[in-house]
Amino acid sequence: MKKYYYWLTGLIASTVVLFASNALADSAVNIEGYLSGTAATYDNASGAYPVITAVLSQPGTLDGYTYRTWAILAADSTGSLDVYGVMPSLGFTPAVGDAISFTGTYSPYHQIPELATNANGSSSMILYSTGNAVSSPGVYTIPTLIASGTGPIPQSIAGHLVTLDNVSLYTDAAATIPVSGNFAIGNNVTLYAKDGSGNIMEIYDWASSYSTCGALGGTPEPTGLVDITGFVSQASTFPPEMTPFSIISVPEPTTLSLCGAGTLLALIFRLRRKA
């Protein structure tokens, strides 16, 4: 049976406290061992504060759809978490390279390790420094990213930015639907990445939860080989899928990220939004 260790300020807790009023201060790897619903502060306890590696979503209006939450990947020496929730009056705009701490509730979603808004609706983020070095995303193959099947996604992948190099966007012509570019109104889009060996992975443009995905609406779908960077999730009995942060044509630097023009071909529309 797995044991869970929780470090509190000034004392060691001997029991797991759900929706506790006092947040547990800890690192990414320990928070991933908490029970869902445990309040925690992501600050690495050692003073080596987690650093933002990607801003996946931020409040604002895009294509007529209003995003109200932040979604931020932050990593320390032990792993990476998605910091997700409503964070009013931060006093700063989170950016890649910022060292932060975040207090919220451990709420994994589709196997994404997330520290989200507390049960009482509150959360907080503190900025400690800016301009810190950020490592490049790990480069993986499709077989590696989908190897976990319906089982747990490895901690080395879950909550991290990952990249697929030199894949093509696979489409089924019979199911292809042209889209004019208004993904963010709630229409999420499914594409497929295919490598040179015929391995296929779902690429899920999750516009209802992430503004970077909504911004892909209306951008042209590249032909030929692409590099795709994003994060991996897995829901129900479906195989793991990647939500794209950027799609870059190879070798031409055509980036589908935070821009909008042209037409993207969509396969399957699914409504899926986080509360």
Q: What is the pLDDT along the chain (275 residues), one digit of tens a residue?
A: 333 222 223 332 323 333 334 567 899 999 999 999 998 999 988 778 999 999 999 999 887 788 888 999 999 999 999 999 888 778 899 999 999 999 899 999 999 999 997 655 566 899 999 999 999 999 999 999 999 998 899 999 999 999 999 999 876 543 343 344 455 455 677 889 999 999 999 998 888 889 988 887 766 777 789 999 999 999 888 899 999 998 888 875 545 444 333 333 333 334 444 54
Exposed, middle or buried, 250 (CB in 10 Å: 0-12/13-18/19+)? middle
Sequence ranges of the chain with CATH classification 2.40.50.140: 6-129
Rounded to 5 degrees, what are φ and ψ at 6? Answer: -125, 125
pTM flag (> 0.85): no
Rounded Cα–Cα distance for residues 173 and 216 (Å) = 21
Cα–Cα distance measured from residue 136 to residue 29, given in angstroms and rounded to the nearest whole number? 20
Question: Which fold would CATH assign to domain 6-129?
Answer: OB fold (Dihydrolipoamide Acetyltransferase, E2P) (2.40.50)
Give the integer Cα–Cα distance in Å for 127 and 48. Answer: 13
Quick one: pLDDT at residue 141? Answer: 97
Fold of 138-270: OB fold (Dihydrolipoamide Acetyltransferase, E2P) (2.40.50)
pLDDT at residue 186, rounded to an integer: 54
Q: Is the peptide bond before 222 cis (omega within 30 degrees of 0)?
A: no
Question: How far, CA to CA in Å, does 163 sit from each of 3, 28, 247?
Answer: 33, 21, 10
Q: Find where tokens 């190897």 sit.
A: 147
Residue 110 pLDDT: 93
